[in-house]
Amino acid sequence: MRRSARRAETLTGIALVLPALFWVGLLVAYPFGMAIYYSLSNTVISQGGSFVGFANFQALLGDGTFRQALQNSIVFTTVAVAVKTVLGVALALILYRRLRVKRLIRGLVLLPFVIPTALSTLGWLWMYDSLYSVITWTLNRVFLLPVGLGPIEVNWLGSPVLAMTAVIVVNIWRGLPFFAITVLAGLTAIPTEFYEAAEVDGAGRWGRFWHVTYPLLKPVLAVVILFSTIFTFADFNIVYVLTRGGPQEATHLFATLSHALAFESMQLGRGAAVSLFMFPVLVVVVALQLRYLHRDETRYA
């Protein structure tokens, strides 16, 4: 290539990414810097504040509410991602079979992913109602009363363990389609000859799953799990709509606690410090993702 042509290419290349760089730099990189600054200050909303070093982080580590949120975040993320993985693979295996009206079923399965989470969670809030819950009604009328038990009253969002379970169930409902459809794509990419070969070798259903499906699915699963981990960990909508972090902070996640500290207690600095605790998790996930990406590149290069 001539030198002037190369220079022209460099200039065009840079010019084309400039708008994106500008927008993202201004509204992601700069706010990120601001978040770090706020977390090191005692800023109160609409009053300003001054630099206090790591005081916010120190105070948080000794704070019962924060520790509770840390524990909640870990429980919420681990359980939700684990269940989504298992159910997602199971559903994908079912969808992979020769089904009638395949397109319709696939379309229906994806619905929770398409509907705005804040709105569908309202539906769950109604299903968890302390008085008119359809779940309680079904438990009583279908299972308990016919055998002479009950009726029971369940306040789904009123006790710590039930509320956490309720929140996790909604997250699973919302995230399952993404898992199932992505894993399904991974399944479809496995050449059928591999299964035929395994069958010739005498492998049964489980054998085929463990020796063919699982190893070939691993890269897809890894990417999906990493993605889901970060967005489950950073979830806000479901908890905000269902419980606002209650009862007694039993369902507060980092995102909802940070929101509550900033806008209910007006402690912007403290809130920013809480949200920055999500950063280490982000770094680990990004590092793992980049490693996978890199491996893919070298494989196909």
Q: How far is the CB of 250 from other proteins (least distance, A)?
A: 19
Q: Does 149 engage in binding with other proteins (CB under 8 A)?
A: no
How many degrees, rounded to 5, is the angle at CA 202 between CA 200 and CA 203?
110
Q: How far is the CB of 275 from other proteins (least distance, A)?
A: 5
Q: Does 205 engage in binding with other proteins (CB under 8 A)?
A: no
Q: What is the DSSP letter of 145?
A: G
**How many chain residues are in contact with other proteins, going by CB under 8 A?**
101
Q: Does 276 engage in binding with other proteins (CB under 8 A)?
A: yes
Interface mask toward other proteins for 85-114; x: CB under 8 A: --x--xx--xx-xxxx--x-xxxxxxxxxx
Q: How far is the CB of 178 from other proteins (least distance, A)?
A: 3
Q: How far is the CB of 241 from other proteins (least distance, A)?
A: 6
Q: How far is the CB of 128 from other proteins (least distance, A)?
A: 11
Q: Which phi and psi angles does 203 have, rounded to 5°?
A: -80, 135
Nearer to other proteins, 34 or 61 (CB): 34
Distances, alpha carbon 123 to alpha carbons 40, 41, 244, 301, in Å: 40, 40, 16, 48
Nearer to other proteins, 63 or 129 (CB): 129
Distances, alpha carbon 288 to alpha carbons 29, 222, 230, 281, in Å: 21, 9, 12, 11
Question: Quick count: other Cβ atoms within 10 Å of Cβ 188?
Answer: 10
Among 212, 230, 250, 260, binds other proteins (CB under 8 A): 230
d(CA 245, CA 164): 10
- Residues 126-145 close enough to bind other proteins by CB under 8 A: 126-127, 129, 132, 134, 137
Q: Is the peptide bond before 160 cis (omega within 30 degrees of 0)?
A: no
Q: Is the peptide bond before 219 cis (omega within 30 degrees of 0)?
A: no
Among 234, 246, 247, 266, binds other proteins (CB under 8 A): 234
- Residues 37-96 close enough to bind other proteins by CB under 8 A: 38, 87, 90-91, 94-95
Pair 112, 172: CB distance under 8 Å: no
- 3-class DSSP assignment, residue 93: helix
- Residues 206-225 close enough to bind other proteins by CB under 8 A: 220, 223-224
Q: How far is the CB of 205 from other proteins (least distance, A)?
A: 11
Q: Which phi and psi angles does 51 have, rounded to 5°?
A: -65, 130
Q: Does 231 engage in binding with other proteins (CB under 8 A)?
A: yes
